[in-house]
Amino acid sequence: MPSLADLLARAQTSLVAGDSRGCLHACDGILATQPQHPEALHFAGLAHAALNDRAKGIDCIRQAVGSAPTFAAAWSNLGSLLMDEGHLAEAEHALRTAIRHGQPSFTSPLYNLGNLLRHQGRLTEAEDAYGKVLAVSPHHHATLYNLASTLQEHGRLDAALALAQTALRLAPQHAESAFLVGNLLRTQGRLAEALTAYDTALASDPDHAACHTNRGNLLSEQGRPLEALAAFQTALNAAPHNERYASNLLCALHYIDGITPEALLDAHLFWDQRYGCPEPRPAPPRPSRTGQPLTVGLVSADFGCHPVGWFCLPLLEGADSQDMRLVLYSDRLNEDQNTHRLEQAAFAFRRIRECDDEQVAEMIAADGIDVLIDASGHTGHNRLSLFANRAAPLQASWAAYVGTTGVAAMDLLLADACQIPAGDETLYRERVIRLPVGYVPYAAPPYAPPPQPRQMGAPLTFGSFNNPVKLSEGILQQWALLLGSVPTARLLVKFRHLDDPATAQHLRMRFAAAGGDISRLDIEGGAPHAEMLAAYHRVDVALDTAPYSGGLTTLEALWMGVPVITMPGRTFASRHSLSHLTHLGLAELCGQDWDDYRAKAASLITDSARLARYRDTLRPRLQASPLMNGAGFARHLSQALRAVWEET
């Protein structure tokens, strides 16, 4: 008959070898004669847990620590099992008990305590726990990685990057470490280094869908839309059931030269067919709101210093609550001064980041929302799944997305006659509602400096402050031809991603390949918003992009007294500037074709008197226009929504 020591050794060996039933058999031999034997109970608990009977495993280990209250390893494993089951308070007690009774070199409970605290958002305490592990085991890879992730969440990016890079050096094949390094470098604007880190991660894990996605986002930021599109497609291939990855692909399509509204419609309809809700909630009845306020909800993650935030401000601050009550449902992570300004202007402001769709739908119902407006579309952190399952009697898309969402339950698309010309209704799944005063209003930042007269002797300068993802091969070719026709002019391209030297150099190479003279191309990176606006003092004529036109960027150039030359196409994304300029009475700045685009720009930049008039008059013209009349926009929006609401 085997001795107790033999049975314990057999139980441990079996457990390590993955033979959980063999471990239990050995433990049973001990517990038959010593039912409170702590080590046997401990091994039995771990074996039961390995066999997916966690409740029995927890019960056995509870008995073990009951028999041996200072049994640190048992307390540690009990804490881990309780944490896995979501019993966090009990888990924390068990882990702290293990730490109290264990030797200083016993770091497992400290590591798991750090994980628990991080999960609870107690980042400072988690950082302390991980730090104590590293004080004993400075090369503990998992702790280095988790502490780096914790510091990232704390916003301590430099320290996080140093730890993540150490973790990657210790485990060069660990894809998650390389992925984290890439994310941290990208956050710091070090795009070329981040791309290398992403490629390192993918070399270890070629099907890492999130890495392909972030790599696609980075390539977009570098102005490489075709490569970004391929990365998003690879991410979707790796995770075909992820609707977010499919949405990324749809967003990327709008930046591709030659994309047609027909192709965009087909792609968005396919998204809804595959990822939408096949049986959404039925639309509730719409009782008359005559003589009553219409209650309108807006859902977005961009209620802040973002184009959506700037477009929403005049609407909210101009709306009459006796006519239309505006309730904001905010998914925003990093709130700012615009967030707080929007919150003050809203009838009600709900933070929904921690809520699932069902909770948000219940909130919307409790708020009595008549019309729910999506202000995200397929962009990041969207709630299209909420709309797909119908959360309100009437649902509309507005302000954020550039065309159809494809969602069957999205009833309306709010636009104007410039964004969607008459006859193009069949290119959009939603019913098109054209507002008479432009598709969005504009609120200028209060810190924007006034326009300045052109400096004597300064070179003639075209400018584009658009996101590099909008700098398609086609538009670079047009700009190269334009510079060739105005030999004394320069081109200033400015955006925050261009701080990265490799990204700036890539743009130079693309411009040269398009036939441009790179000696006349000036590239600048980001700046605080007020300084960026002041940079328009050095620009004579702003050049719009294609096939994705400037929206807020165009309005900011006009606010700074700089005329914008645009060439609209057929897609919604290509017609933003056309809308803004038309409602300002500036159709003379809209090209009829690319030859006309270049001719208008070349003629304007050499007409100093006309440039001076624009510099003096564009801001007051914008101030007096419907684009900056928030109250007027709110009235027209209310009238349009009421007209649909009252239909039988």
CATH number of the domain that 123 lies in? 1.25.40.10
Exposed e or buried b for every residue in 360-393, given b needs 16+ CB within 10 A? bbebbeebebbbbbbbbbbbeebbbbbbbbbbbb
Q: Are residue 603 and residue 504 in the same domain, yes or no? A: yes
User: For residue 571, is it left (φ>0), alpha (ψ between -120 and 50) or beta?
Assistant: beta
Which neighbouring-strand residues pair with 631? Answer: none
Q: Are residue 173 and residue 40 in the same domain, yes or no? A: yes
Q: Are residue 403 and residue 541 in the same domain, yes or no? A: no
Chain center to CA of 420: 27
pLDDT band at residue 648 using 50, 70 and 90 as cut-offs: low
Q: Are residue 471 and residue 405 in the same domain, yes or no? A: no
Cα(100)–Cα(427) distance, integer angstroms: 67
String of DSSP letters for 623-641? HTSGGG-HHHHHHHHHHHH
**Residue 44, in any domain of the structure:** yes
1 versus 43: the higher-pLDDT residue is 43
Cα(445)–Cα(533) distance, integer angstroms: 10
Chain center to CA of 114: 28
Q: Are residue 408 and residue 467 in the same domain, yes or no? A: no
Q: Are residue 528 and residue 617 in the same domain, yes or no? A: yes
The arithmetic mean of pLDDT across residues 58-87, rounded, is: 95
- pLDDT (tens digit per residue) in 380-430: 999 999 999 999 999 999 999 999 999 999 999 999 999 999 999 999 999
Question: Among the residues of 321-440, which ranges form H helices?
Answer: 337-345, 357-366, 384-388
Report the 10 Å Cβ neighbour count for 104.
10
- pLDDT (tens digit per residue) in 594-643: 999 999 999 999 999 999 999 999 999 999 999 999 999 999 999 999 99
The residue written with tokens 């409602």 in the block is: 583
Q: Are residue 73 and residue 147 in the same domain, yes or no? A: yes
Cα angle, residue 603 at apex, residues 599 and 605 outer, rounded to 5°: 120
The residue segments making up the domain with residue 166 are 4-179
How high is the mean pLDDT of the chain? 96
Cα(197)–Cα(187) distance, integer angstroms: 13
Report helix, strand or coil for 238. helix
Which neighbouring-strand residues pair with 434? Answer: 415
Q: For the chain, how many structural domains are there in total?
A: 3
Which of 150-154, 291-295, 626-630 has the weakest average pLDDT?
150-154
Quote the percentage of the chain above a pLDDT of 90: 94
**Residue 522, in any domain of the structure:** yes
Q: Are residue 428 and residue 466 in the same domain, yes or no? A: no
- Tell me: pLDDT of 1 over 80: no
The answer to whether residues 325 and 295 touch, using CB atoms and an 8 Å cutoff, is: yes
559: closest CA among 461, 451, 460, 438? 451
**Residue 187, in any domain of the structure:** no
285 versus 484: the higher-pLDDT residue is 484
Which neighbouring-strand residues pair with 566? Answer: 590
CATH number where 572 lies: 3.40.50.2000
Q: Are residue 391 and residue 496 in the same domain, yes or no? A: no
Cα(224)–Cα(257) distance, integer angstroms: 12
**Residue 251, in any domain of the structure:** no
Backbone angles phi, psi at 518, to 5 degrees: -70, -15
Report cis status (omega within 30 of 0) of the bond before 280: no
pLDDT for position 77? 95
- In the chain the first and final C-alpha atoms are separated, in Å, by 87
318: closest CA among 640, 552, 628, 643? 628
Cα(623)–Cα(641) distance, integer angstroms: 26
**Residue 260, in any domain of the structure:** no
**Residue 569, in any domain of the structure:** yes
**Residue 641, in any domain of the structure:** no
Report the 10 Å Cβ neighbour count for 296.
24
Report helix, strand or coil for 57. helix
Domain boundary among 434, 452, 480: 434
Which two tokens mark 257? 């030269």
Question: Among the residues of 222-280, which ranges form H helices?
Answer: 225-238, 243-253, 261-275
- pLDDT (tens digit per residue) in 568-589: 999 999 999 999 999 999 999 9
The residue written with tokens 């700098």 in the block is: 471
Q: Give the H/E segment covering residue 152.
A: helix 141-153
pLDDT band at residue 471 using 50, 70 and 90 as cut-offs: very high
CATH number where 304 lies: 3.40.50.11380
Quote the percentage of the chain above a pLDDT of 70: 100
- Tell me: pLDDT of 272 over 80: yes
Query: At CB < 8 A and 24+ separation, what contacts does 535-538 make?
Result: 535/465, 535/492, 535/494, 536/451, 536/463, 536/465, 536/560, 536/561, 536/562, 537/449, 537/451, 537/452, 537/455, 538/455, 538/458, 538/461, 538/463, 538/492
Cα(562)–Cα(272) distance, integer angstroms: 41
Domain boundary among 179, 205, 225: 179
Q: Are residue 113 and residue 31 in the same domain, yes or no? A: yes
Q: Are residue 419 and residue 565 in the same domain, yes or no? A: no
**Residue 361, in any domain of the structure:** yes
The arithmetic mean of pLDDT across residues 90-95, rounded, is: 96
140: closest CA among 156, 129, 151? 129
Q: Give the H/E segment covering residue 348.
A: strand 348-351
Q: Are residue 622 and residue 571 in the same domain, yes or no? A: yes
- Tell me: pLDDT of 446 over 90: yes
- pLDDT (tens digit per residue) in 479-535: 999 999 999 999 999 999 999 999 999 999 999 999 999 999 999 999 999 999 999
